[in-house]
Each structure stands twice: as structure tokens, then as C-alpha cells.
Amino acid sequence: MVAPAFDYVAAGSYEEAVRLLAENGDEAKVLAGGQSLMPMLNLRLAHPELLIDINPADQRPPTLDNEMLRLPALTRHRVLLEHDLVRQHCPLLAEAVRHVGNVRVRNRGTIAGSLAHADPTSEIGCCALATGARVVVRGPAGNGQSERTVPASELFAGYWSTTLDPAEIITDVLIPAARPRQGWSFQEMVRRTSDFAIVAVGVIFNLAERSGAPASATVALAGVADRVVLADPELLNDDPDESAARIAETLDPPDDVHASGAYRRRLARVLTARALREASARAAV
């Protein structure tokens, strides 16, 4: 099919993009990598009157500052996959991005575009939750603009929707750098490589720095609800199988054309147990 007609404007800065968004309200959509928005337009699932292209707004590379990985909004998936800072300080994300789309999608797709799209099967959203990422958001404030920081755990509102104000734009993603004695694992089930996840699980596992005893674990799941979700840490104990079973019991995944809810719940249990094992083994090295 062919996209409905829309107008286009290139924004030279995030400030300009926010101003254009505020002026045009619901009729405008932000265009970043376009690997989710453009298919929705081509399938006529969205009918914006104006696309605000933020590609000219930002050329910054990833940086590390005070044990915090700063990924500018337009960081392409390929950069997440290949950049030394990401591979070293957020190996979970570098691995998860291998499962996103194909070469062409990874060349254009962006980290903030993926988060703002808020797909419930998103690998990147899953990693944002598991790592305790935060997003820096710019929006209108009074006569000017202001920035605020939103934890990933408060970003997702449901199918393809976020808690952000319609005129707000994500400008940066902040991810705490991996610590010593930290392990990670990403597990995903798909029918064909590059498909949307049926279920994906991301785990970050911390051992206590002195004693080496299990200290904390964070489990995030994709494909099990109307958004990516964090498992309740209270459900975790020292036994990966028991923890995974308790997490799966709390889930009520939807049926759809790709898989039944019961199958998804089973996958959540199996993949969570695998991920906890792998992450704890990596932490112990």
C-alpha cells in the first residue's frame, strides 16, 4: 500500500522539534529512524498530517560519564550492536539488539524511537527495564521548554503508548554502566530470526562485591502483556526454576495470531529460568 499524504519538516534541533510538536498537536508525529512509523503509514495504521524529522537534530555519539552510559536519542541499532562503550558497559543491550529487525532496520532504527514506539515485544524496551535505564525528555514548559528525566519503569503505558506528554521528545537514554560482579542474559523465542519476539527475557544479576553472594536480580519480560514489564523482585529467590515459575504465575499474557497466552506463559517460565542461570554464571566469572 501507499502512505496517506502528509507534510514534512526537518527539525534542526530538539528545541525546534518540541516547538513544532506543540504547535501542531495531535496532527504531528516525530520521525526518527522510521522503521516502525513508516510501516504504520504504509499500512495506513496512522494518519498524521505532519512528520517532524529529527534526524538533522543530533549527531552525538554514545559517551560514558560517571558510570552512566549516555545514548543520544538517534543512536542507531547498528551502533548499539558495534560500539565499544555499549558492548563493554551494557553487554545486555548489545546482545539484545542482534535480535532486532534486519540489517536495514538496524542501520536506521534508533534507540529512542524504539522506546517511544513502546511495542510490548520490544527487545530494547525490555533491556531498558532490566538495566534501570532512564530517558531524558524535553518538552514545553510555560513560555519556554524544560527537561525532565523519566525512569523506563514509568515510561510505558500500554500497547504502543507512553506516559509522555504529546509534545515531549526523548533526547537521551541513560543506562547505569555494568558493575563488577554483574552478570546478564538475554533470551528470546521467535519463529524466524528477526521476527518480533514471542517472548523475550532480559536479566541483570548482581553478586555482593565483598562476599560474592547473590545480592539482587532484575528480570524484565517482553511479549507477555500490553507493555514490557518488570518482574516483582519479591518473587525471586536462590532457585532459578522456582523464581521463574513464580514470575510466570503472575502473568496473564494475551492470545494472538502468533501464540496463545498459555504458550507465552510457559515460554516466560522457561526463558526466565535460563536467563537467571546464565546471568548468575556470568556474574560469578
Q: Is 34 left (phi over 0), alpha (psi -120 to 50) or beta?
A: left
Q: How many CA atoms lie within 13 A of 138 on its CB side?
A: 16
Name the residue nearer to another protein (CB basis): 42 or 146.
42
CB 230 within 8 A of CB 218: yes
- Among 18, 30, 35, 134, contact with another protein (rule: CB under 8 A): 35
7 lies in the site for another protein, by CB under 8 A: yes
CA dihedral 120, 123, 129, 130 (to 10 degrees): 140
Name the residue nearer to another protein (CB basis): 130 or 197.
197
Name the residue nearer to another protein (CB basis): 4 or 151.
4
Name the residue nearer to another protein (CB basis): 87 or 108.
108
Contacting another protein within 78-97 (CB under 8 A)? none
Contacting another protein within 185-214 (CB under 8 A)? 192-194
Q: How many CA atoms lie within 13 A of 11 on its CB side?
A: 23
3-state secondary structure of 164: coil
Q: How far apart are CA 208 and CA 190, in angstroms?
A: 34
- Among 15, 16, 46, 53, contact with another protein (rule: CB under 8 A): 53
- Among 15, 22, 55, 261, contact with another protein (rule: CB under 8 A): 55
12 lies in the site for another protein, by CB under 8 A: no
- Among 59, 65, 103, 257, contact with another protein (rule: CB under 8 A): 103
* Shortest separation between residue 50's beta carbon and another protein, angstroms: 9
Q: How far apart are CA 284 and CA 209, in angstroms?
A: 11
DSSP 177: P
CB 25 within 8 A of CB 165: no
CB 177 within 8 A of CB 251: no
Name the residue nearer to another protein (CB basis): 52 or 248.
52
Name the residue nearer to another protein (CB basis): 67 or 84.
84
113 lies in the site for another protein, by CB under 8 A: no
CB 162 within 8 A of CB 60: no
Inter-axis angle of helices 240-250 and 261-284, nearest 10: 150
3-state secondary structure of 79: helix
CB 99 within 8 A of CB 65: no
- Among 28, 30, 32, 34, contact with another protein (rule: CB under 8 A): 34
* Shortest separation between residue 126's beta carbon and another protein, angstroms: 20
27 lies in the site for another protein, by CB under 8 A: no
The residue range among 62-70, 99-107, 180-188, 269-277 that interacts with another protein, by the rule CB under 8 A, is 99-107
Contacting another protein within 123-182 (CB under 8 A)? none
Which residues sit at the interface with another protein, rule CB under 8 A? 1-8, 10, 31, 34-35, 38-39, 41-43, 51, 53, 55, 101-105, 107-108, 192-194
